[in-house]
Amino acid sequence: MTHSEIKPPHVLFLFSDTGGGHRSAAEAIIEAINLDFQNRISTEMVDFFKTYAPPPFDLASDLYPPMARIPDVWKFGYKLSDDPQRTRIFYNLMWPYIRRAIYRMLNDHPYNLLVTVHPVPVFPVSRAMKSGVPPFFTVVTDMVSTHTWWFNQRSDLIFVPTEIARQRGLAYGLKPDQIRVVGLPVAQRFCMPSESSQFFRDKMGWPQNLLVILLIGGGDGMGPLTKVARAISDAHLNAALVIVTGRNHKLKAQLEAEDWSLPTFIYGFTHEMPNFMRSADILLTKAGPGTISEAFISSLPMILYSRMPGQEDGNVSYVVNQGAGVWAPEPNRIIEVLRDWLDHPDEREKIAANSRRLARLDASHLIAHAIADQLGVTEEIIQRISENEK
């Protein structure tokens, strides 16, 4: 092969917009690849549910939000499926129905390495691929309560956010060198300081002389966000309130029509979340892994007011046990904690320091470098591709 024929190795990322920050994890890793190996590795993202899954699985991303709003149903399904033996039975039964879609997806997108940031494709993809050809990585986007679907012994390498998740993988028979603790992939904009807190508050019209409480419910504005916001207003706290409703436009309009007892600022989906977090003093959120990881980086003390049963139970325990926040599912408990933190800044700062201690800023880059190592993107190959580009 001549130098002019050399093409960068290609990485295929499988994701789906079914919660858990799967898309953002893939985008964060791709961003790190582009930063650290400019034009030396090509990448592609495929939403396997929307593009290839047969009915009714192709509706998964549309069905996820309403299902997630029924906690008992979600918990039952999660617990029922979180078992190695039942997982094998389920996928064996489903294989005749989904195998054509899996083979078609892999054939439509030639690649040198496959990375899945979603648990559903792990078993069918590992079954469809020949062992080790091409290599197959799994990036676990659940922080602590990792479902059995994430762990397959055919995965060449599995990246997990915490040591607790690693131990769960080892309990399923993974080899120690097959699973690495790296943290959760987070976009570079959360890791690199940009505007100062004072400048950003001025730009947004937030008061400089009050603590800012940031209330969010994930990209879809999930959880009892309205009830929490009203409780804060009724408490007449000496603070400002910033509410992010995500893509929930109806909720945003509803909240904008209300009267508030404290300075309140309401936003829909925003790309300014890194600045929102860096400029806030306290975070109220559901226990999503991505938001928690971003809060660690931003040194934010957290009040977790909602969780997905089963999937996010471990996230709550992790934050509380590490002293980075509290679990407060009832409005009266939230107000109690807020009053305590407003009256005792030293305690709040101690919790903020614990949050910062848990930050993993390099997860995306560690995964990017592991991908490059697996692909053999050595200095020699980089040099040859550089010559080809001239």
Q: Residue 185: which of 364, 48, 334, 317 has the closest Cα?
A: 364
Q: Are residues 64 and 142 in the same domain?
A: yes
CA–CA separation, 287 and 289 (whole Å): 6
What is residue 18's predicted lDDT score, i.e. its pLDDT?
A: 81
Could you tell me how many residues make up the chain?
390
Q: Are residues 18 and 125 in the same domain?
A: yes
- Does 383 score more than 80 pLDDT? no
Residue 333: give its domain's CATH number.
3.40.50.2000
- Does 379 score more than 60 pLDDT? no
Q: Are residues 280 and 377 in the same domain?
A: no
Q: Which residue has the higher pLDDT, 66 or 244?
A: 244
- pLDDT tens by residue, 177-198: 999 999 999 999 898 766 688 9
What is residue 2's predicted lDDT score, i.e. its pLDDT?
A: 44
Instruction: Tell me what the mean pLDDT of segment 362-374 comes to.
Output: 96
Q: Are residues 329 and 375 in the same domain?
A: no
Q: Which residue has the higher pLDDT, 163 or 1?
A: 163
What is residue 242's predicted lDDT score, i.e. its pLDDT?
A: 98
Q: Are residues 335 and 275 in the same domain?
A: yes
- Does 310 score more than 60 pLDDT? yes
- Residues 53-90 as b or e (16 or more Cβ within 10 Å = b): beeebbebbeebbeebeeeeebeeebeeebeeeebeee
Instruction: Please return the burial class of 276, using the count of CB atoms within 10 Å of its CB with bins 0-12, 13-18 and 19+.
Output: buried
- Does 259 score more than 80 pLDDT? yes
Q: Are residues 180 and 205 in the same domain?
A: no
What percent of the chain shows pLDDT beyond 70? Answer: 91
Q: Report the 10 Å Cβ neighbour count for 203.
A: 12
Q: Are residues 233 and 307 in the same domain?
A: yes
73-77, 180-184, 201-205, 345-349: least confidently modelled range:
73-77
CA–CA separation, 19 and 219 (whole Å): 9
pTM: 0.89
Instruction: Please return the burial class of 108, using the count of CB atoms within 10 Å of its CB with bins 0-12, 13-18 and 19+.
Output: exposed
The number of distinct structural domains making up the chain is: 2
Write out the residue range of the structural domain in which residue 330 sits: 189-357
* Beta strand pairing call for 10-15 and 302-306: unpaired
Q: Are residues 61 and 168 in the same domain?
A: yes
Q: Are residues 92 and 181 in the same domain?
A: yes
CA–CA separation, 226 and 215 (whole Å): 10
- Does 1 score more than 80 pLDDT? no
Q: Are residues 161 and 28 in the same domain?
A: yes
Instruction: Tell me what the mean pLDDT of segment 98-120 comes to.
Output: 95
CA–CA separation, 116 and 25 (whole Å): 10
User: How far is the CA of 66 from the CAs of 130, 223, 245, 311, 312, in angstroms?
Assistant: 37, 11, 16, 16, 17
Q: Report the 10 Å Cβ neighbour count for 366.
A: 18
Q: Are residues 171 and 135 in the same domain?
A: yes
130-139, 248-257, 275-284: least confidently modelled range:
130-139
Q: Are residues 223 and 144 in the same domain?
A: no
